[in-house]
Chain A
Amino acid sequence: MLERGEVANSWRHERWDSLRLLTPNWLSRLPGLRYDGDDPDGYMTTAEVVAFIARFAASARTPVRTGTTVTALRRVEGGYRVTTDHGEIEARAVVIASGACNQPAIPAFAGDVPRGIEQLTPSTYRNPDGLADGGVLVVGASATGLQLAAELRASGRPVAVSVGEHVRMPRTYRGRDVLWWMDASGVWDQRYDEVDDLTRARGLPSPQLVGTPERRTLDLNALAADGVELVGRWASVRDGHALFSGGLRNVFSLADLKLRRMLDGFDEWAKAAGVDAAFDPPERLAPTETPRSPRWQLDLRSGEIRTIVWATGFRPDYRWLDVPVLDAKGRLRHRGGAVASPGLYALGLPVLRRRKSTFIHGIEDDARDVIEDLAAGLGPTQAQTPRPRVATA
């Protein structure tokens, strides 16, 4: 197993200070390793996540070659040649486990933002102290955008959030963590070949959740109540002005409707499973309130905004992958983790095999399925051949 840095590298070096896992502790499990602390309903800090993964690496005796960056992967006779900054490795099979979040996905018009405004991404943001005093425009309203907006607003800065399509979720529902419902009702086990629109499911933004000791629900209404200004999806920059979509109301409606459908699904599951009485009564969240007249433009030269935080998601980095397995949009072409090249596999991508694929507890089932397929492909001569290697860039 190749790792460019240390075990749990991105959790050690590419996360902001206050981040906690979105998954409650009891659900954060890896094969053979379960949370055994005294706060099962809490959410791990990044340091705790690092310790958890390091513990797993030790207990699983994973042969990790740290400090080894993969610079190229090529198809050769009988398998693949992996080029690293510490030499080459030949393998009959390779698993790409470098994740979906290697590079911040920033719109091209970021280049038109006037100089003098600092631009940060979730990988470079650490805490509010690192920012200039003055206004912040947070772009994106998924988990990251909401968390950073709340933290920056609490630091006393004026904050605006540019909101596109998003997935709204309460932290708890009927007395249980909302992710408990996802788990128990079977939503998370839904397989990639059962999902209606797989492309859409794989592109869904992270749900609007935060892991806090108070198990707080952080939604757009909560942000607005804290004095955060909500504006539409940022569409372009013209003459030094940010132009926002006038469709804010509809992205609220879409998210509210989907939330209602999700909660209806949980209620139906509880009834069908005969466990309805075990929970608090069903509840519905207030609709997202649309500001009276949301701004659709903002003068970036006025000094009102000093910092822009791009919480617009991430994309994978496959620049090292010299095998023609990417689609026109740069996404890995695979069927449930079997990449469109013999002996090449992937793990840890959105809805790879199940809706839970990118959550920590989601890897176990996926890895078992993918490795089974991989081992079958290696055939009966497996014993004499080098063991498969997992590459993380």
Chain B
Amino acid sequence: MTTTIDNGVNVQALLDARGALVDAPAAAQFTWKASSTWKHGVHSQTTIQNYFGLGEEQSHKTESVFDADHPEVFAAEDNGITPIEYLLVGLTSCLTAGVASVAQNRGIQLRSVEATVEGNHDIRGILGADSDVRNGFNDIKVSFNIDADASREDIEALVAQSQKRSAVFDALTNPTEITVDVA
């Protein structure tokens, strides 16, 4: 009767961590870090390798480098995606990771998970052309196309639960205190 499903997520490790961290909230405090360098024009390069968590400094296996620029329609060189597009990368990858994890936990075998995300942005805000227009996205739409051994209702529940537990969904839908200072 037992069928083994494998979406490649080690849910047991996550559940164990959850159990362990209930009584060790200090170990649950993570700090994610990035450093960026201005290149030229609106082109910058951001590198990420280290972070803090479980009470000590941690390191990714390799350093990742991200170029951000503006496209040619903004009269820039387009050496990379625009900063606001990085938010879309974060959102869709976070929700997709959530879908895989929740599916694993609920015993649902995934065959494919595709997502498209569109952020609607009125650039009159950042250009200062209209003070009534905000700088950021007006709204964001994510569409999932999921092939899995599950009913449509169960798939909808996966997607709803992945939003409920998503770091980036929360970071984008709720305000966050940000401090920017000059060293």
Contacts and interface: CB of A to CB of B under 8 A. Distances in A.
Interface of A: 165, 232-233, 235-236, 238, 243, 245-247, 250, 253-254, 257, 260, 293, 328
A367 to B, nearest CB: 30
A256 to B, nearest CB: 9
A293 B163 contact: no
Interface string B137-180: 00100000000000001001101110110000110111100000
B175 A236 contact: yes
A202 to B, nearest CB: 14
B122 to A, nearest CB: 13
**Interface SS of A by simple majority:** mixed
Given A257-B153, A257-B157, A250 B175 contact: no
Contacts of B161: 254
Which of B160, B169, B170 has most A Cβ within 10 Å? B160
Contacts of B174: 233, 235-236, 243, 245-247
A23 B137 CA distance: 45
A232 B153 contact: no
B160 A247 contact: no
Contacts of B25: 328
Contacts of A257: 153, 156-157, 160
Which of B139, B163, B172 has most A Cβ within 10 Å? B163
Interface in B123-142: 139
Contacts of B157: 257
A253 to B, nearest CB: 4
Contacts of A236: 174-175
Given A254-B164, A293-B139, A246 B173 contact: yes
Contacts of B175: 235-236, 238, 243
A238 B174 CA distance: 12
A254 B158 CA distance: 10
B156 A247 contact: no
Contact of B156 (A232, A253, A293): A253
Given A253-B160, A293-B139, A247 B153 contact: no
A236 B163 CA distance: 20
Given A253-B156, A254-B160, A257-B153, A247 B139 contact: no
A165 B156 CA distance: 17
Nearest to A264: B153
A232 B174 CA distance: 10
A59 B170 CA distance: 53
Contacts of A233: 174
Pairs A-B, 4 closest by C-beta atoms: A246-B173, A247-B173, A235-B174, A250-B163
Contacts of B139: 246, 293
Contacts of A245: 173-174
A233 B173 CA distance: 10
Contacts of B170: 247
6 contacts: A247-B163, A247-B169, A250-B160, A253-B160, A257-B160, A293-B139
Given A236-B174, A250-B169, A293-B139, 13 more contacts: A233-B174, A235-B175, A236-B175, A243-B175, A246-B172, A246-B173, A247-B163, A250-B160, A253-B156, A253-B160, A254-B160, A257-B153, A257-B156
A232 B160 contact: no
Contacts of A235: 174-175
A253 B156 CA distance: 8
B173 A232 contact: yes
B135 to A, nearest CB: 14
A147 B170 CA distance: 28
A247 B173 CA distance: 6
A257 B158 CA distance: 10
A236 B170 CA distance: 13
Nearest to B140: A246
Nearest to A249: B163
Nearest to B177: A236
A165 B170 CA distance: 14
A293 B120 CA distance: 13
Given A235-B175, A245-B174, A250 B164 contact: yes
B131 to A, nearest CB: 15
A233 B170 CA distance: 12
